[in-house]
């Protein structure tokens, strides 16, 4: 062998080693094959373990599903339809798994009859590339499924050419085809709802100028001339060397159902607010104006009683007492209704208030009832926090709850009451605990409703509005109120919460 041939062969070996390819030679006429060591390594063997080798050696490693494609491409090359043979195929590795190879070759000698004789080629392990491609395809598939499931379409705006490219999901959600209308900024702008245009366009232009992104909700005209609510997101992704935006990309998300639900909810909330205001105004006017006829009834009953004097027999005097008592009772109920309607309307504005100060004021106000009943009330003023609330409403709340604890006690027992407070996350939890007459659990749902009494008028005084007022005050301050009791004769615990944070308290 000449020196130049030796050097050329060594150079070729070094190149093959550097590229990591296996080589093969195949005599098409006899089936004889020659492989290099790298060819065997690719399938997990040493070359000497595969000897003697023939075309059947290759066939034993090939995946059955790839044989037909490989044969078709070989024949295309043999018949002169392709300059070379190339096929991506799977081969069984010694470890039992399948690997991918890029199989390339070409005829290097022909028989005298023009048939292919020797074919030489290479095997390149492309398993990692194929796995990466499969992962990318799966990722793309899942991405498209997510797009379909979430109603998200992608757009791409080239500011340099003023062209807006939409993907199929954008066109589909609007019921349009790419051929319907060339999309640029003007055509996009022209399909915006007029009421949204003055809000959306300045925001887009501002973000373009600042090179930032945006999130905007707007209505867009569909192919069937209906308005569809979309959420548009955009981000500048490419700029010139001078920092000017060249390209913006983003998404369109179909939020139509959500926006319509929000709008209905807002309309219902507004209607409920107006209805509540009307009801409160009606309650205020009715309770205020109805007191005048009641005062007249009371006055005329007293005048009639004085005029008749001794002429009233026992039965008539009893009926007069019933009539006067009923009028007074109705007057008390109207006063209570008037007080209920004033919650949130006539009270002091919300500010930081000390609950201890509010309780002290209530205890001073209830001093006559405390003295006459001998009530024992325990509490620690230092434990009670400040909250963002209406001071007079807090005072009214404690007055109703503590007043009830004093009122509803057993006839042969002194009222024993404890006032407590504890921290519960973002809220303060207050409790007014008594050892009074208790409450049947089946009656809990009635307690906080207007004019709901659990006892006859002769047993305990009241109109059945005090706890309804307490509930309204607590809920106006974003809290909750409830009662716990083991049953009649077992005492009661009235709990309510108030937010610690001013923002939570509204």
Stretches where the chain sits below pLDDT 70 are 1-19, 146-151, 180-182, 211, 275-276, 278-292, 326-347, 450-464, 503-506
Which pLDDT does position 4 carry in this prediction? 56
Task: Give the pair of three-digit tokens for residue 474.
Answer: 């607590």
Task: Give the pair of three-digit tokens for residue 152.
Answer: 């998200």
H helix count then E strand count, the chain: 15, 17
Tell the residue number behind the tokens 């105004």, with chain if given.
Answer: 281
Does a cis peptide bond (omega within 30 degrees of 0) precede residue 52?
yes
Q: Which of 367, 401, 377 is nearest to 482 (CA)?
A: 401
Q: Which residues contact 222 (CB under 8 A, 6 or more apart)?
A: 174, 175, 176, 228
CA-to-CA separations, 473 to 194, 391, 470, 501, in angstroms, rounded: 43, 11, 5, 17
Which pLDDT does position 456 carry in this prediction? 44
Are the C-beta atoms of 409 and 492 separated by less than 8 Å? no
Between CA 436 and CA 492 the distance in angstroms is 7
Query: What values do phi and psi take at 434, rounded to 5?
Result: -130, 170
The enclosing H or E element of 471 equals helix 466-476
Looking at the whole model, is its pTM more than 0.85?
A: no
Which pLDDT does position 1 carry in this prediction? 46
Between CA 483 and CA 440 the distance in angstroms is 11
User: β-strands 416-424, 376-378: how paired?
Assistant: parallel
CA-to-CA separations, 305 to 156, 291, 292, 331, 414, in angstroms, rounded: 92, 21, 20, 20, 40
């Amino acid at each position: 062998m000449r020196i130049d041939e030796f050097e050329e062969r060594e150079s070729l070996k070094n190149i093959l080693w550097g590229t990591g390819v296996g080589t093969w030679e195949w005599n098409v006429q006899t089936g004889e094959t020659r492989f290099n060591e790298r060819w065997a390594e690719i399938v997990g063997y040493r070359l000497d373990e595969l000897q003697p080798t023939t075309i059947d050696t290759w066939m034993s490693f090939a995946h059955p599903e790839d044989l037909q494609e490989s044969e078709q491409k070989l024949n295309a090359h043999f018949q002169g339809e392709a300059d070379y043979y190339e096929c991506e195929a799977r081969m069984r590795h010694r470890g039992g798994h399948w690997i991918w190879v890029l199989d390339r070759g070409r005829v290097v000698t022909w028989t005298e009859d023009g048939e292919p004789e020797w074919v030489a080629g290479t095997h390149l392990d492309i398993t990692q590339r194929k796995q990466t491609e499969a992962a990318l395809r799966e990722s793309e598939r899942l991405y498209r499924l997510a797009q379909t499931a979430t109603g998200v379409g992608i757009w791409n705006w080239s500011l340099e050419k003023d062209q807006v490219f939409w993907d199929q999901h954008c066109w589909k959600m609007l019921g349009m085809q790419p051929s319907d209308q060339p999309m640029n900024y003007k055509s996009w702008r022209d399909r915006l709802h007029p009421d949204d245009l003055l809000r959306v366009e300045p925001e887009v232009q501002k973000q373009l100028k600042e090179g930032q992104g945006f999130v905007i909700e707007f209505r867009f005209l569909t192919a069937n001339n209906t308005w569809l609510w979309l959420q548009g997101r955009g981000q500048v992704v490419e700029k010139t060397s001078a920092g000017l935006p060249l390209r913006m990309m983003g998404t369109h998300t179909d939020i139509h159902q959500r926006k319509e639900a929000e709008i209905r909810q807002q309309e219902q909330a507004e209607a409920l607010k107006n209805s509540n205001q009307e009801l409160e105004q009606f309650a205020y006017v009715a309770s205020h104006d109805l007191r005048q006829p009641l005062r007249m009834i009371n006055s005329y009953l007293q005048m009639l009683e004085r005029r008749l004097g001794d002429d009233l027999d026992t039965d008539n005097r009893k009926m007069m007492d019933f009539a006067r008592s009923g009028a007074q009772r109705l007057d008390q109920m109207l006063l209570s209704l008037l007080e209920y309607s004033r919650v949130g309307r006539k009270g002091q504005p919300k500010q930081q208030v000390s609950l201890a100060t509010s309780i002290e004021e209530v205890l001073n106000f209830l001093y006559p009832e405390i003295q006459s009943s001998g009530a024992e009330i325990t509490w620690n003023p230092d434990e009670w926090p400040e909250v963002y609330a209406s001071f007079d409403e807090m005072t009214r709340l404690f007055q109703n709850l503590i007043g009830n604890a004093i009122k509803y006690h057993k006839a042969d027992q002194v009222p024993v009451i404890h006032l407590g407070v504890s921290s519960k996350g973002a809220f303060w939890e207050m409790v007014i605990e008594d050892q009074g007459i208790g409450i049947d659990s089946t009656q809990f749902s009635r307690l906080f409703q207007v004019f709901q009494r659990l006892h006859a008028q002769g047993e305990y005084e009241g109109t059945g509005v005090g706890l309804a007022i307490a509930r309204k005050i607590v809920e106006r301050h974003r809290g909750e109120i409830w009662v716990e009791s083991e049953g009649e004769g077992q005492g009661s615990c009235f709990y309510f919460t108030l937010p610690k944070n001013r923002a939570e308290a509204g």
